[in-house]
C-alpha cells in the first residue's frame, strides 16, 4: 500500500531551522508531484511548497526565501528545509503526493516555533 511518512518536526525557537523529510513507498515516486502543506491551529490547510517530477518548484508567498523544497528520486524522498522560522509557522506539516487522479497524504508532523 501507499505510505508517506514524515519526520523531522519538533520544537524550535524563532529564527531557527528545521528540516522535514517525507519517505514514500508504494508509488512510482519519480512521476509524482510532491508537496508540503500545513494546517495551523484554527486554520485551513494551505500549500507550503511543491515540486514537480522535473524539479520545478513553487512556494506560497510567505515562505519564499525561507523554505526550500527538494526531492531525491533515487531515494523516494522529499524534503522541506525551513529557515528563519516564525511563531506563525507553527502547524502540522503534511507531505502530499499527486499524479493524475491519485492523491496521497502523510499523517503529518508537528512543528512548533516558540521561545
Cβ atoms of 36 and 106 closer than 8 Å? no
For 28, residues 6+ apart whose C-beta sits below 8 A from its C-beta are none
Confidence category of residue 112, pLDDT binned at 50, 70, 90: very high
How much is the average pLDDT of 77-82? 98
Confidence category of residue 72, pLDDT binned at 50, 70, 90: very high
Q: What single-letter DSSP state applies at residue 42?
A: T
Angstrom distances, CA of residue 97 to CA of 70, 73, 108, 112: 13, 13, 13, 24
The pLDDT, as a whole number, for residue 54 is 95
Confidence category of residue 31, pLDDT binned at 50, 70, 90: very high
41-71 tens-digit pLDDT: 999 999 999 999 999 999 999 899 999 999 9
For 112, residues 6+ apart whose C-beta sits below 8 A from its C-beta are 10, 11, 12, 90
How much is the average pLDDT of 68-75? 97
The pLDDT, as a whole number, for residue 115 is 94
Per-residue DSSP letters for 7-26? E--EEE-TT--EEEEEEEES
Torsion region of 48: left, alpha or beta (phi above 0 gives left; psi -120 to 50 gives alpha): alpha
Amino acid at each position: 500500500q501507499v505510505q508517506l511518512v514524515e519526520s523531522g518536526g519538533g520544537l524550535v525557537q524563532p529564527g531557527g531551522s528545521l528540516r522535514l523529510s517525507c519517505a514514500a513507498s508504494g508509488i512510482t515516486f519519480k512521476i509524482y508531484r510532491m508537496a508540503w502543506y500545513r494546517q495551523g491551529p484554527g486554520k485551513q490547510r494551505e500549500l507550503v511548497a511543491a515540486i514537480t517530477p522535473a524539479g520545478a518548484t513553487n512556494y506560497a508567498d510567505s515562505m519564499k526565501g525561507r523554505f526550500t523544497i527538494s526531492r531525491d528520486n533515487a531515494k523516494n524522498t522529499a524534503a522541506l528545509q525551513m529557515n528563519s522560522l516564525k511563531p506563525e509557522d507553527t502547524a502540522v506539516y503534511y507531505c502530499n503526493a499527486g499524479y493524475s487522479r491519485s492523491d496521497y497524504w502523510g499523517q503529518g508532523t508537528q512543528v512548533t516555533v516558540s521561545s
